Amino acid sequence: MSNATRQFTEKRLVIASHNPGKVREIGELLSPWQIEAVSASELNLPEPEETGDSFVANAKLKADAAALGANLPALADDSGLAVDALDGAPGIYSARWGGEAKDFDAAMARVNTEIGDNPDRRARFVCALALTWPDGHSEVFEGDVRGALVWPPRGAKGFGYDPMFLADGDTGTYGEIDPAQKHENSHRAVAFRALIDACFPPVS
């Protein structure tokens, strides 16, 4: 990656995800720039196998595959829950803890079971964003938010592990608070602000 970040000037962008919640959230974050966001599933792009050993590696892998497959710039997110008491697990395997069906009710239950009686409920949500152009150039950004895990899960407004994550300073889990509030302070929002500051023009 060069020292100078590349500016995004196109009007169409592939969101390299088949997760409708994630696609919706990223689309909402992009709305001020009037960019047409199209998901990988809408373009029938296959989901590449996530073989990277970090959130950054997996985000770049997905963005690279979508940009090449669609011949359009592509934005990919790789994010997950890192639990202190579980030495950072499930981490990059967060979605896989839900099994083939990506059942996050089951994944949350597994996290809670594995923590067991450990009083340390601290955790963080981590997000890596990769923006790749069809010529292979990429820009990558990271963000994270600290918090604690609650049980049982609360709220139905979020997705994934949101209902069991209570961010520091919030009064409700990511499943309970208004999506606009989540967009202000989530791990994805932190990474997204870094991306916007580096690659997108100010919105007038």
- pLDDT per residue rounded down to tens, the chain (204 residues): 445 789 999 989 999 988 887 788 888 888 899 888 899 999 999 889 889 999 999 999 999 999 999 999 999 999 999 999 999 999 999 999 999 888 999 999 999 999 999 999 999 999 999 999 999 999 999 999 999 999 999 999 988 999 999 999 999 999 999 988 888 888 988 999 999 999 998 876
Amino acid code (one letter) for 118 = N
Instruction: Output DSSP code: residue 68.
Output: H
Q: Do 167 and 174 contact (CB within 8 A), yes or no?
A: yes
Cis before 202? omega within 30: no
pLDDT at residue 2, as a whole number: 46
Task: Enter the pTM of the model.
Answer: 0.87
First to last CA, the chain: 29
For residue 124, count other CB atoms closer than 10 A to its CB: 19
Active-site residue among 53, 64, 77, 78?
Answer: 78
- Residue 164's alpha-carbon distances to 11, 14, 30, 86, 136, in angstroms, are 36, 30, 26, 15, 37
Nearest one of 74, 164, 91 to 127, comparing CA atoms? 91
| Distance, CA of 160 to CA of 24 (rounded, Å) | 13
Instruction: Tell me, yes or no, if 77 is annotated catalytic.
Output: no
DSSP 160: T
**149 Cβ neighbours under 8 A, 6+ residues apart:** 83, 111, 112, 115, 121, 122, 123, 164, 165, 166
